[in-house]
């Protein structure tokens, strides 16, 4: 199973990824915990692509690809932004970062997904989830 979709960088388009995850969960009978992890991580990734990657520029798109193979779900989320150095993200658990309103998305995704990878430029991430 493979699904690919692209959509404009508008905040209201976050519901597109929510709907896709809901439909996949119904079709493949994700467990409650796995469903929650996938939903939160996917929404965070799309949110980051819209806000930080594409700077909420509606002329730029977010690209999402989902693949299920055996018991693995891979979700790719890409943007058309400048990219970023994912090796140099500040730790949101440090005292100086605790009260900052941003900076927790990648941290959350790392803890919810079974595996997280970035492309070289930081414009696409790949999340892997074990479904069973």
Average pLDDT over residues 104-129: 93
Q: Which pLDDT score, from 0 to 100, does residue 105 have?
A: 80
Coil, helix or strand at residue 67 = strand
Q: What is the pTM of this model?
A: 0.91
pLDDT band at 12 (very low <50, low <70, confident <90, very high): very high
Residue that has been written with the tokens 């430029």 in this structure? 121
Exposure b/e, 70-90, CB count within 10 A at least 16 = b: eeebbbbbbbbbeebeeeeee
* Residues counted in the chain: 132
How confident is the model over 63-110, as pLDDT tens digits? Answer: 999 999 989 999 999 999 998 877 776 665 666 656 665 666 888 999
Distance between CA atoms of residues 96 and 50, nearest Å: 26
Residue ranges and CATH numbers for the domains of the chain are 2-130 (3.30.565.10)
What are the start-end ranges of the H helices in 1-132?
14-28, 32-48, 105-112
Tell whether the model's pLDDT for residue 46 goes beyond 90: yes
Tell whether the model's pLDDT for residue 57 goes beyond 60: yes
Q: Which pLDDT score, from 0 to 100, does residue 42 have?
A: 98
């Amino acid at each position: 199973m493979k699904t690919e979709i692209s959509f404009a960088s508008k905040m209201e388009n976050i519901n597109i990824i929510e709907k896709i995850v809901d439909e996949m969960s119904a079709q493949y009978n994700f467990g409650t915990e796995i469903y929650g992890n996938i939903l939160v991580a996917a929404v965070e990734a799309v949110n980051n692509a819209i806000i930080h990657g594409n700077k909420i520029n509606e002329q730029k798109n977010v690209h999402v690809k989902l693949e299920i193979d055996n018991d693995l779900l891979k979700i790719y989320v890409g943007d058309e932004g400048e990219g970023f150095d994912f090796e140099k993200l500040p730790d949101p658990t440090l005292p100086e970062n605790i009260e900052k309103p941003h900076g927790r998305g990648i941290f959350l995704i790392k803890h919810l997904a079974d595996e997280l990878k970035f492309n070289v430029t930081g414009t696409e991430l790949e999340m892997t989830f074990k479904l069973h």
